[in-house]
């Protein structure tokens, strides 16, 4: 079983408004099955969950343009919607790279806490250059392993740093509260990964079940859509905890 399976060749794939799919990734939802204007209907519009959490986690007085992690999460929603809408390689790459940048924004905020402005700028520049080079290779190679590896590395850099900061900067009930909040986010990410794997491994059975249920109940078995919803919630909780950790005054 692989995470890069491509379910190409659906009956209506070549009839879609956006033309035949060219993306390397093509998930279990049948192409253009709901409307010829949307490549993957459920997988497209569940990305609005990212847009919702991008705004939901803004604090009073903040806006997208001043909050890199919120802005990056917003672009995850937009670019992923465009990818699943069109199933084109170019929009897939935009979706892939937006995932890098929301993680990079969190990594920068978490690891430069207490640093001088010049040190933060230097770290941000190195991170940007490194991800820029990786992004260029990712686009040129037409594969997913480099994207998957980089994304896993960035996520792995986030969670231990958050737990360390929670345990060293908070005490008592405040510590327990924010540890619990971060665990909820982590559990959502884990559940999202599980349904992503199941969507790939059991696509045939899922498609049969969806046909038996019909629309709209069959939408509930579009598991990649649940990946979007669950990871949006997980990212929202992570951004929320990160904002508290990087403020001088913390309160639950």
pTM attached to this predicted model: 0.89
At residue 8, the pLDDT reads: 61
Annotated binding residue 14: no
Annotated binding residue 108: no
Domains of the chain: 13-245 (1.20.1070)
At residue 6, the pLDDT reads: 58
Annotated binding residue 30: no
Taking the chain (252 residues) in consecutive chunks of 10 residues, what is each chunk's mean pLDDT? Answer: 57 91 91 95 97 95 92 96 96 92 93 92 94 90 85 92 92 91 93 93 93 94 96 95 76 40
DSSP string, 231-251: HHHHHHHHHHHHHHHTSSS--
Closest to 206 (Cα-Cα) out of 197, 180, 147, 247: 197
At residue 2, the pLDDT reads: 45
């Amino acid at each position: 079983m692989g995470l890069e399976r491509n379910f190409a060749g659906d009956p209506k794939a070549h009839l879609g408004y956006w033309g035949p799919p060219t993306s390397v990734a093509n998930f279990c939802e049948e192409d253009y099955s709901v409307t010829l204007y949307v490549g993957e209907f459920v997988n497209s519009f569940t990305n609005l969950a990212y847009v919702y959490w991008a705004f939901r986690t803004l604090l009073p007085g903040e806006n997208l343009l001043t909050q890199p992690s919120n802005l990056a999460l917003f672009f995850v929603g937009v670019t992923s919607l465009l990818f699943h809408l069109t199933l084109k390689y170019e929009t897939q790459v935009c979706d892939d790279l937006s995932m890098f940048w929301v993680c990079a924004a969190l990594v920068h905020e978490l690891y430069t806490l207490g640093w001088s402005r010049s040190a933060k700028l230097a770290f941000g520049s190195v991170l940007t250059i490194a991800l820029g080079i990786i992004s260029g290779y990712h686009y040129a190679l037409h594969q997913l392993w480099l994207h998957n590896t980089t994304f896993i590395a960035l996520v792995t850099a986030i969670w231990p740093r958050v737990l360390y900061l929670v345990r060293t900067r908070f005490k008592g009930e405040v510590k327990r509260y924010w540890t619990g909040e971060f665990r909820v986010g982590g559990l959502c990410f884990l559940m999202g990964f599980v349904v992503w794997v199941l969507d790939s491994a059991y696509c045939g059975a899922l498609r049969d079940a969806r046909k038996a249920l019909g629309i709209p109940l069959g939408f509930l078995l579009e598991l990649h859509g649940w990946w979007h919803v669950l990871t949006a919630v997980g990212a929202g909780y992570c951004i929320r905890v990160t904002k508290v950790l990087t403020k001088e005054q913390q309160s639950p």
